[in-house]
Structure 1
Amino acid sequence: MSKLFNTAALCLASASPRRRELLASIGVEVEVCPVDIDETPNGGERADAYVTRLARQKASAGAGLSSLPVLGSDTAVVCDGVILGKPGDKQHAAAMLRALSGRTHQVLTAVAVSGPAGMLEVCVTTRVVMRTIAEHEIAAYWVTGEPLDKAGGYAIQGLAAIFIERIEGSHSAVVGLPLFETARLLSRQGVPLWNRACR
């Protein structure tokens, strides 16, 4: 059944169901406006600069598709200074998990929101400690299909939760959107949150 009116308060420049669900959890309805940008890192580009640049480019591209404020975001998993993207195949995914196994890595998520207040952005770093993952677990995890479209080859909110010993920082940022920081940016752009009636 189609809606009689659009209640969206924000354009999400991403097809990510995880980001849409995270925004819904803080009371923000979105209009989904996926954009297509080149996500290749520049030579020598730091991870924080990389994810911030992509978030900004996504928000800018989305601004041409909607009259609403636009949110763009990007997440990178970083191990030993190397940005781990999404695995292309089983071997690539296994290599990523072996590199992360038994070690601490960083997850960087940048958020950019274009709106009445201009372009606002933030980048959040979370440290993730993984336990040692056995080879049979790596193989079994691939079969689930979960690693294929995930940065670093794993989903902390999914089956890979059993691999995570602890995190230092924002859990929601590892999933795809740091909610505390995102809520602040949205409020500055006039986007209503769940508590708008309490203000």
Structure 2
Amino acid sequence: MLVIPTILKEVETVLSQVEQDQLQGLAIQLQKAKRIFVIGEGRSGLMAKSFAMRLMHLGATVFVVGETITPSIEGGDLLVAISGSGTTKNVVWTAEKTKSLGCSVMAVTTNPESALAAAATQILHVPAATKYRRENELKTIQPLGSLFDQCAHILFDTLCLLYSKLNEVDHTLAFSRHSNLE
């Protein structure tokens, strides 16, 4: 078996099920947000941090929940909560708390019936396999939630591309915000 072509086919299968119009709508929600907060645990947390970094490059005011410099969330803010299963306790609790404060919650999950989805004001359904290998999940050759993480990363980069077009941020402007302390 050729591993890379198989992985690419898995990713393509998942991404082909995500509606372009939905992504455009989510990019508009990101644009409208006063500030954007992201949360995820484990590898989903790493995807969240990479998303936050790219949004910062594009001029968004963005924070990672749990970092020491993260302020309190308030009206007009948006939380992007990432959990493949939609059951990660800290992510679900943060989404529920955010919603109770009257802020928007964008859930990124494989499970639109999950506790995270129930706490969300909008859902980005990523129909990929998770570490739980539920009956209705796509089959994958990859370990744990790798397929979800890969697809989430590509979808976040897609959202960033759409966001950059809405805000007319070109490569030169984005690069000017890239770290110069490296």
The alignment's TM-score, normalised by the length of structure 1, stands at 0.31
Q: Which protein is richer in strand relative to its size? A: 1
**Structure with greater Cα Rg:** 1
The alignment's TM-score, normalised by the length of structure 2, stands at 0.33
